[in-house]
Each structure stands twice: as structure tokens, then as C-alpha cells.
Amino acid sequence: MAEHRDGMVVHWRPGCPFCMKLRLWLRFSKLTYTEVDIWSDPDAAAFVRSVADGHETVPTVTVAGHSMVNPSMRQVVRAVREHAPHLLDTGGSAKGL
């Protein structure tokens, strides 16, 4: 699970409007990340509960081991710059990041 330690993971669930908004933005950002549906993965749901005070609050985003519960896009970008700058596209397609 190297991508989990060194990369970005977005924990989400179907029907969550906050998840939809963040996932849509991430698709346009050109950042590299993994998506995990907590309703399909009990271990992922347990992880989210472990960082969200026992709740299954999504989206929960982990960047290089640093977890954020329901982060803003700005918080995600800041975490990537600080903890995983290798995820930024150096080809210029991740404009504005």
C-alpha cells in the first residue's frame, strides 16, 4: 500500500454531495489519487471512523499519511504541497495548484 503512505486517498460514499463536489474538482485538478468507497470496503469505513471521532464522515482525504475530514479543496492542495509535492503534475496541467 505504498500509494497510501506516499500518495493521496479519497474516502467517499455514494450519494454524498460533499464527496461529489470534491471528487469532481479532483478529476479536473490532474492530481494523482485513489478513491475508496467506504460502503464497499469495511476496512476503509473503519479507517474513516478512526480519524473522524468514530463517525463515517466523508469525504475523508489522506495525503501521505496526513488525514483530513471533510476538507476544502484549498486544504487538500495545501496538504499535497506540504506532504506530497510529487503528486503535483509538473507538466503544467494542474494549473492553479
Residue 25 Ramachandran class (φ > 0 left, ψ -120 to 50 alpha, else beta): alpha
pLDDT value of position 89: 62
Calpha distance 95→5 (Å, rounded): 25
Residue 57 is part of a domain; what is its CATH number?
3.40.30.10
Neighbours of 48 (CB within 10 A): 25
Q: Is residue 92 domain-resident?
A: no
H/E run at residue 97? none
- Which domain range does residue 55 map to? 2-87
Residue 94 in any domain: the answer is no
pLDDT tens for the chain, 97 residues: list them.
334 678 999 999 999 999 999 999 999 988 889 999 999 999 999 999 999 999 999 999 999 999 999 999 999 999 999 999 988 865 544 545 5
Instruction: Identify the pLDDT of residue 97.
Output: 56
